[in-house]
Amino acid sequence: MTHTMQDLPDRITQIHDRLAEHYGPRIWRGRRDPLDELIMTILSQNTSDRNSGRAFRALRRQYPDWQALIDAPTAEVYETIKSAGLGNIKAPRIQQTLRTIQERTGALSLDHLDAMTTATARDWLLSLDGVGPKTAACVLMFALGRPALPVDTHVHRVSKRLGLIGPKVGADAAHRLLEAAMPPEIVYAFHLNLIQHGRLICHARNPECRRCPLADVCAFVQYHDLRQ
């Protein structure tokens, strides 16, 4: 199964159509507050959605606003978010991120990103210490409705197995390659369905290739001769 970069958009569209048929349509749920999304995504790094969600809710209960979190002792913030793991890293990172945003914009808000192009808004987010391509893409897509593709472990793994990216392409490079080849209108659904597919069928260990709706277009299946 040989593919080129030229046919990547067609393959992505084909895979999107198959996954949409298998898992159902994905409708954007509407704008989230971009600063909330940024903090939530920092909390989600290297942990489950359940743990990061619990930690975010604990932050909102503990602190009436983001200024109160900035002013709190870092040790207290750590105790509040420790359910998300790596609290010793995330607590000072969140406080410093909030301070930086306040210093640059004069407010604890990311609403100014609305007026920027997607590329400029991405660069602005990436200039924050500790914010990488995935975190920036989550803010752009979930909060602002932009066609930015977050590449988490599921998206990265499934994209490699399908042959959409090469075996040595890292997650940071995958953001650029996949997003550039993807019709903007399918980015949101493609992201969510690839995550769903990675969780339910294309597991990190022991993928269930024989019940996969993408088996006939999957490089991993063809290479390992896992066809039925």
> Residues 19, 38: one domain?
no
Q: What is the pLDDT of residue 222?
A: 86
State the first-to-last Cα distance of the chain, in angstroms, to the nearest integer: 17
Per-residue pLDDT reduced to its tens digit, 131-142: 999 999 999 999
Which residues span the domain enclosing 193? 5-27+150-223
CATH number at residue 177: 1.10.1670.10
Domain tally, the chain: 2
How many Å apart are CA 52 and CA 8, to the nearest integer? 34
> Count of alpha carbons within 13 Å of 123, Cβ hemisphere only?
5
Q: In the listed set 120, 143, 166, which residue is the last one of a domain according to the structure?
A: 143
> Residues 106, 180: one domain?
no
Does the pTM surpass 0.85? The reply is: yes
Q: In the listed set 143, 173, 206, which residue is the last one of a domain according to the structure?
A: 143
Per-residue pLDDT reduced to its tens digit, 49-88: 888 888 999 999 999 999 999 999 999 999 999 888 877 8
> Residues 55, 14: one domain?
no
> Residues 20, 47: one domain?
no
| Residue 228 domain flag | no
Say yes or no to pLDDT of 227 above 80. Answer: no
